[in-house]
Amino acid sequence: MLVFFVFFYLIFKIGKTGREFETIDPRTGEVIAKIAEGTKEDIDIAVKAARVAFDDGPWPRMPGFVCYLSLPLF
């Protein structure tokens, strides 16, 4: 089973509430993943981190292909 967390500041974190919800495979009814429940505060933190990374980091000046290679493939 996969477990997904809230992603910001280049790390995965559990949401502020610590709660999660299950994703169910509709064919089998089996739980296939647990996903962290993000709050408004979690989203605000993630958006601020993305803004800082874009404004102050190398990301906007990198060639598109390099950005593509930098992203994790899930």
pLDDT at 73: 64
Task: Compute and round to an integer the Cα radius of gyration of the chain.
Answer: 15
Q: Could you state, in chain order, the average pLDDT of each consecutive group of 10 residues for the chain (74 residues)?
A: 48 68 90 82 82 83 82 65
Whether the full predicted model's pTM is greater than 0.75, yes or no, is: no
pLDDT at 14: 64
pLDDT at 5: 47
pLDDT at 2: 46
Q: Is the Cα torsion angle 69, 59, 15, 21 positive or negative in sign?
A: negative
How many residues belong to the chain?
74
pLDDT at 29: 93
Domain boundaries, the chain: 2-70
